Amino acid sequence: MFVIPIYIEAGITGFESPAAQHKELGLSLDQLLIKHPDATFIGMASGQSMQGVGIYDGDLLLVDRAVDVSNGDIVVASYNGCFVCKIIDKDNRLLLSASDEFKPVYVAPEDDFCLEGVVTRSIRLHKPCAEFQMREM
């Protein structure tokens, strides 16, 4: 195993903190990531069917209900009682996975289908916070 030596000194000196030169941007993550706060909810991805578009099991999805759905958008929908995250093909009434391992799903008129919103962002949690894990249970 190759080890990179890093030397760290701890102590108090008369120099200003290196962080003092950085200014706050005055922008929150909410402002940066969410266009319609009253119409946006967060869900958690489950499974491997959307890995081809960079959505992995356990990723957080920002879903906006105020965005008009276009062909090819990644959406969250209720399909026959299950929540799904898929690419929508409105012209052919299909829900598509981003993996060749999963077949397209035709949405028949008799199916119970409700579009919940468009996925506008996905966030990968490299180390989930304890508070979030507690709420999942």
User: Per residue in 58-92, pLDDT tens?
Assistant: 999 999 999 999 999 999 999 999 999 999 999 99
The answer to whether residue 23 is domain-embedded is no
The answer to whether residue 131 is domain-embedded is no
The answer to whether residue 63 is domain-embedded is yes
Question: What's the mean pLDDT in 3-19?
Answer: 53
Check pLDDT > 80 for residue 104: yes
Question: Over the chain, what is the mean pLDDT?
Answer: 84
The larger pLDDT score, comparing residue 38 to residue 4, is at 38
Residues of the chain above pLDDT 70, percent: 74
The answer to whether residue 8 is domain-embedded is no
- pLDDT confidence of residue 28: 82
Strands 74-79 and 82-89 come out as: antiparallel
Residue 127 annotated among the catalytic residues of the structure: no
- pLDDT confidence of residue 134: 46
Strands 105-106 and 94-96 come out as: antiparallel
The answer to whether residue 103 is domain-embedded is yes
The single residue of 23, 35, 49, 122 carrying the catalytic annotation is 49
The answer to whether residue 84 is domain-embedded is yes
Strands 82-89 and 94-96 come out as: antiparallel
**CATH number for the domain that contains residue 55:** 2.10.109.10
Question: What's the mean pLDDT in 43-57?
Answer: 94
Domain that holds residue 36: 28-126
Domain count, the chain: 1
Please give the Cα distance from 97 to 104 (Å, whole number): 7
Strands 82-89 and 40-44 come out as: unpaired
Please give the Cα distance from 49 to 64 (Å, whole number): 21
Residue found by looking up tokens 């962002």 in the block: 121
The answer to whether residue 36 is domain-embedded is yes
Please give the Cα distance from 117 to 21 (Å, whole number): 41
Residue 78 annotated among the catalytic residues of the structure: no
The answer to whether residue 13 is domain-embedded is no
The single residue of 86, 97, 99, 103 carrying the catalytic annotation is 86
